[in-house]
Structure 1
Amino acid sequence: MIYSSIRHDYKNEMQSVIDLNTLEITLEAARDDISRVVLIYGPRYSDNKDANNKIEMNLKYRSKYHDIFSVRLNLDDTRLRYLFYLEDNGGDRVWYNEKGFFKTRPQGYDSGYFQKAIINKSDVKKSPEWAQDAVIYQIFPDRFFRADSNNYKNREWNQLPKKDSIYGGDLKGIIKKLDYLKELGINTLYLTPIFKSPSNHKYNIDDYYQIDPNFGSIEDAKELSKAAKEKGIKLIIDAVFNHSGSNFFAFEDLLTKGEKSKYMNWYFPENFPISKEEVNYSTFANDIQDMPRLNLDNPETQEYFLKVAEYWTAELDLDGWRLDVADEVSREFWEKFRKRVRKINNDIFIIGEVWYRASNWLDGNTFDSVMNYDLQRDIFSLIIEENMDVDQFSSQIQENFRHYHPEKPNILVNLLDSHDTARFNWELRNYNKKIIDQKMKFAISLQFLLPGIPLVYYGSEVGLTGADDPDCRRTMIWDKNRQNRDLYNYYKKIISYYNQNRDLRKGDYKELFMDPLNKILIFSRKNKKSNENSTVVIINMSDKKQNINDKNIIELLKNKNLSFSINNNNNNSFNNNCLKIDKKQILIYS
């Protein structure tokens, strides 16, 4: 038994409050080391000197180096004490508590039990229920649709973008295309910034209380929110509070008055006088002169931007905020932000832009979710670079999940691309169309079949392509003769299936079978309540038809029906002894 790899502590992902009466307990061990884990538990206050309730813990995740065991306890009394009994594959047996490992069971109240003092109402950190059912569509407003021909533009619609290109897309254009989004199956809209700014991207905001005139008016924004809700589409907008624009009133005052400015503590000046040419102040990234970084540890700055958030949450009846450069902003500010906007809408969904594993931000006090760039990079490695096999892929996503509270994987935002990355299909440009479409369908399928909220970046569904910024921000293709209709139909098909399958939206990931040599991965999305492998996903990434004879898989599929496939052909079959799956195929049994 590898004792140094066995771990349990009081962190959010290992002692996880689910609701007022439910606690999930997790134990970590070295991969393939522990064969059995039993949780022995009981109330902290009892006539018995020891806890005597026993429950087997299940293997939940398997990463490259770790096995993760877990169990959910439904408790009448949430004041809990517990320890673990472990067996390994070599016959070693130990008891494990706060004080370490023992060959015989420690006895008595003071023997070293792990403890859960109690579950208080404030310990239950719930995210909005609706978020688990969301299919998000991200729009870069200048590039989606231009309804008002009088809008300023310096580029024709179908011309390729430059850094300063403005095409005149607007909020009325989005309103006109809501039926298009509804038909696709979208139920949540995310807009990049819409406030007054001299740029096309609006991430350098000059006035946080004004809709950019080229996008429309506050009345247009309200109409968009109202019209979207009438069609069952929720609205999320971008919050840019890490930095302002250089024409923002507080920074202009600092530029003019220097050390005498009452807004000096709103920013991070290095010396005086402030110079935009020298960029002697902290900015977003490195020396971006028109994006001076805000000091959101300063109470006055905090209050100004908290009021901005409150104002728009109420005025636009917002369903969510996506927070730009979220991890570089004061945690204290985000904690206040969450409390203040939730007083207006307790069901608001808060997404942080964090490009790495963000478990420290998802403790229930700041964000509900983050943009899941971890998964995006793994899909990129599997599908595009082909330097990761199915075993590594499954291990890696489970490695990511194990660091989060158990309710979080299903609300991470799964994206393939965004306004900050090259389009996914751009990275496939050197392949022929047949292979591009094949690889795109695999990537899209993983985005929808793995835990998380799928996000479609505008135009991806019709084959819009582009390299890194600004090329990834091309204008939407509305001419059906120029659209990839086969890809559009596949998006529509998988979104419809996703919207009808509760397990895909809310079930846990469970690896069931792995064959790296033949590029086979089988996993289920487990029903949390029944713990059954309700929906089974079978992936064949190889160039050959494969036979699957594993007895456990065959037995599992006997009572299920084929409900989805990437390719609608007759080259797949199932009988009581064998599943035959075609090359480059994904099958779903439910």
Structure 2
Amino acid sequence: MENIPEQKEYELFSPITLAVDTTEIVIKDFLIDQKIDSISSDIDYLLSEDKRKIFFISDDDTPILSILKLWTNGVPYSVLVKKNMQKKVVLSYLSKGKKFSEVSIVGEFNDWNPSLGQMRLINGNWQLEKFMNPGSYQYQIVLDKEWRLDDGNPKTVSNGNGGLNSILEVEGSVGDPPKLSFQLKQGDIQIISESANEIFVFCDNTQIESEKILVIPEKIKQKKYSYVRVFSFNKNGESNSLLIPLKFGTVITQSSDLYDQDKYASNLYFILVDRFLNGNKQNDNPVNDVEVHKKANYHGGDLDGILQKLKDGYFSDLGVNTIWLSPVTQNPLYAEVEYPAPHRKYSGYHGYWPISCTKIDTRFGNSETLKELVEVAHQKGIRVLLDFVANHVHENNPVMKKHPQWATNFILEDGRENIRIWDEERLTTWFDRFLPTIDYSIPEAVDLMTDSALFMMSEYNLDGFRHDATKHIPTIFWRTLTNKIKTSFPDRSIYQIGETFGSRELIASYVATGQLDGQFDFNLYFDSRVVFAQDEVSFTQLHNSLMETFLYYGNHSLMGNITGNHDIPRFISYAGEGLSFGEDAKKAGWERKVKIHDAVGYNKLQMLTAFIMTIPGIPVIYYGDEIGMVGAGDPDNRRPMIFDGLNFYQQDVKKNAKDLLHLRKSKLSLLYGDFNLLELSDTIYVYERNYLDQKTIVLFNKGVKPVNINLNEDISAFKQHFSSKIENNNVTLFPYSFEILTLN
């Protein structure tokens, strides 16, 4: 047996997915500051002259899975390397004799960016070659700047906004990849595999012998907490992976034995500070400007209000063990005019216009209150994440006053103002005229802003960050910040989650060892929103989306699965027919009081909540979604939180959320189990999660009629958690309902 580190010196190394051609590996992402004794790899590589980077060049002979070993101080650290399974696809559009000056294809595969999908006219066909993973992709054709469906492709799907998109199907391999599971045999882990060519087993970041009965090394048994990870492949592709938590080398079989800072067991709750609870009216100071509507002004929510709810047990009772606070640093005392028409005036109540990167906003409280809030949260077993804004600062922030050259160019070479050009100028665009974007090609800017984040974490004993506008910030910033965090807090479990609207490929590029733990899975959310809210949209669309999520982020990820957030209309506004897909939700919020017109929307919200609580990843509740609060676009989706006087439906939604949050915390099958599809149709979705002999079966019916589902197994020993009708092995689900059955 090779040497194994005495301590769990690093968090789990995420697998490296190779690029189609050349892949650059930054060694410091994995080993922080240790020197490399030697490197071994199953595939050819090049080492940079300064020995800080490794370069892999992929070809057809690259194995589907392989191992990179980094040796330091006589100890090998192992990283799984995955071959890029994308295939070259020729995308084409037949113009049928019509003449166009330019044609582009835009879709989920290129962030809907026409400049990334420009096609060439070849023998009467407009074509573009692109490497793509197997799967389903929504897209449209842009003909001389006019977006439209592909008239040569009859396959369409709802776009979630009242319209349709064309669907591109990229076929994968014909056969099945391996299937992994495990069981305990006299206390030892027995790996069960079907048709695997090779199996790779890790204890933390050390590869061990991949025998069917795993022998846990003695040094691992001396660690209080560790993990076994298992991967395999055959000619058809990669298997599901296994993630098995250990305590002193023994498989954990009860959730109560998990590490109290276990990231995979997080139940996350997002608080928009100003709209949650006013706990101290003495710090109220809304902007005194008649042009600022009440919806866009400060409402008085503060840190004292959150502290009060912590002490009252609101979060613990709900089942939340992690809270994310919106930004709390100082914002301007005056209003600003928003760039897009109709140019309304807003205050910085949301916290995303920082005039200071470290000083607490006087309208939210002070340093002492934030410290007490974190301390009380920790006493109750609740972790605290803070929203950190790094992409930009307010123009009156001292950082920009002292270093005006740190701003990216506001005027582009073609004369355009560089405002909200989200994709074409992703790393330079400004969010508004008064919010200069920081140019992180300047090392001093990276150093100062990462130090600001580090100060906040150290000063307030934070457990992590939610990072705003992640895709607009280059990776050098994330690598620098994460390296500083790991160096400064080597013994703490810090969770960093990012916000990126874009393709899964773009989102995944920031989720890696040395960068972020996860990001919010907006693509999965948008599919779940339209599937649960609209009766006519099939569960097949949701299941395919979930499979895409597994493909890009793995079977056991720390991605955030949301009920909604502060940038998009509340789910129940669509599900309850207060909003229609396709209308301008922001405009609707200003022009009418959006409310629930069909109470079935509450049932649909409960189904959405059940879905995010029972799939791999971290469930994230947007404040108010636990009671079915309504709201259109920003700022209507940021109404003041309601604690008292809940109606029957709101009480029912809250009980549902509470039951689901507590159920998830208590079931290892929901935290670490694998995922198996049992039944799928337009209106029925049934899957199971398995961990050892612990099983959870989840059943949904989004149809307008009751359905009977035969599970083809004896479920007499299962516990029923919700209100379906069960007889023998048959489960009858009411319309717009779900059931969860568990077996320990």
The two structures have a TM-score, normalised by structure 2, of 0.59
Q: What is the distance in 2 between the residues matched to 1:129 and 1:23? A: 25
Indicate the residue corresponding to 1:329 in structure 2.
Answer: 473
> Closer, same or farther in 2 for the Cα pair 1:511/1:399, shift >3 Å?
same
- Is residue 691 of structure 2 the alignment partner of residue 535 of structure 1? no
> Closer, same or farther in 2 for the Cα pair 1:296/1:86, shift >3 Å?
closer
- Is residue 451 of structure 2 the alignment partner of residue 307 of structure 1? yes
Indicate the residue corresponding to 1:265 in structure 2.
Answer: 405
SS at match of 2:553: coil
SS at match of 1:177: helix
Indicate the residue corresponding to 2:638 in structure 1.
Answer: 473
Question: 1:406 Cα deviation (Å)?
Answer: 4.0
> Closer, same or farther in 2 for the Cα pair 1:495/1:288, shift >3 Å?
same
Q: What is the distance in 2 between the residues matched to 1:339 and 1:264? A: 27
Q: What is the distance in 1 between the residues matched to 2:613 and 2:400? A: 43
Question: 1:385 Cα deviation (Å)?
Answer: 3.1
- Is residue 522 of structure 2 the alignment partner of residue 522 of structure 1? no
8 Å CA contact 1:384–1:427 kept in 2: the answer is: yes
SS at match of 1:337: helix
8 Å CA contact 1:162–1:470 kept in 2: the answer is: no
- Select the residue among 549, 554, 561 that pairs with 2:712: 554
Question: 1:465 Cα deviation (Å)?
Answer: 1.5
- Is residue 130 of structure 2 the alignment partner of residue 130 of structure 1? no
> Closer, same or farther in 2 for the Cα pair 1:292/1:10, shift >3 Å?
farther
Indicate the residue corresponding to 1:564 in structure 2.
Answer: 721
Q: Which runs of structure 2 are paired with 1:14-93 in the superposition (5 Å)? A: 30=171, 33-35=174-176, 57=194, 72-73=200-201, 76=208
Q: What is the distance in 1 between the residues matched to 2:679 and 2:81? A: 25
Question: 1:36 Cα deviation (Å)?
Answer: 6.9
- Is residue 586 of structure 2 the alignment partner of residue 448 of structure 1? no
Q: What is the distance in 1 between the residues matched to 2:531 and 2:263? A: 27
SS at match of 1:588: strand
What residue ranges of structure 2 are gaps of 5+ in the alignment?
1-59, 70-75, 86-133, 135-170, 181-190, 211-230, 239-258, 333-347, 578-595
> Closer, same or farther in 2 for the Cα pair 1:496/1:247, shift >3 Å?
same
SS at match of 1:313: helix
> Closer, same or farther in 2 for the Cα pair 1:173/1:207, shift >3 Å?
same
Indicate the residue corresponding to 1:182 in structure 2.
Answer: 316
Per-residue CA deviations over 1:285-325 (Å, capped at 9, x if unaligned) read 55601211001221111111121111111111010101100
- Select the residue among 355, 358, 362 that pairs with 1:206: 355
Q: What is the distance in 1 between the residues matched to 2:418 and 2:702? A: 53
Alignment root-mean-square deviation, CA: 3.9
> Closer, same or farther in 2 for the Cα pair 1:9/1:465, shift >3 Å?
farther
Task: Count the aligned residue pairs.
Answer: 488
Residue identity matched to 2:381: G
Indicate the residue corresponding to 1:318 in structure 2.
Answer: 462
Per-residue CA deviations over 1:410-464 (Å, capped at 9, x if unaligned) read x211112111111111123426443122111111111111211111111222232
Percent same amino acid at aligned positions?
24
Bigger helix share? 1
Indicate the residue corresponding to 1:487 in structure 2.
Answer: 653
Q: Which runs of structure 2 are paired with 1:427-446 in the superposition (5 Å)? A: 427-430=574-577, 432-446=597-611
SS at match of 1:34: coil
8 Å CA contact 2:275–2:640 kept in 1: the answer is: yes
Question: 1:350 Cα deviation (Å)?
Answer: 0.6
Per-residue CA deviations over 1:184-242 (Å, capped at 9, x if unaligned) read 11111100100001211111101112100111111111111111111111100011010
SS at match of 2:685: strand
The two structures have a TM-score, normalised by structure 1, of 0.74
8 Å CA contact 1:162–1:471 kept in 2: the answer is: no
Q: What is the distance in 1 between the residues matched to 2:646 and 2:498? A: 37
Per-residue CA deviations over 1:16-62 (Å, capped at 9, x if unaligned) read 899967969799685682157699xxxxxxxxxxxxxx995469xxx
8 Å CA contact 2:573–2:630 kept in 1: the answer is: yes
Question: 1:246 Cα deviation (Å)?
Answer: 1.2
What residue ranges of structure 1 are gaps of 5+ in the alignment?
1-6, 40-53, 60-68, 88-95, 98-126, 254-262
> Closer, same or farther in 2 for the Cα pair 1:442/1:182, shift >3 Å?
same
Question: 1:585 Cα deviation (Å)?
Answer: 3.1
Indicate the residue corresponding to 2:563 in structure 1.
Answer: 416
- Select the residue among 289, 302, 316 that pairs with 2:433: 289
Residue identity matched to 1:437: Y
Question: 1:537 Cα deviation (Å)?
Answer: 1.4
Per-residue CA deviations over 1:511-541 (Å, capped at 9, x if unaligned) read 1222x25x222211132xx4x6722212222
SS at match of 2:561: strand
Indicate the residue corresponding to 2:538 in structure 1.
Answer: 389
Question: 1:492 Cα deviation (Å)?
Answer: 1.2
SS at match of 2:363: coil
SS at match of 2:610: helix
SS at match of 1:361: coil
SS at match of 2:552: coil
8 Å CA contact 1:16–1:405 kept in 2: the answer is: no
Residue identity matched to 1:379: S
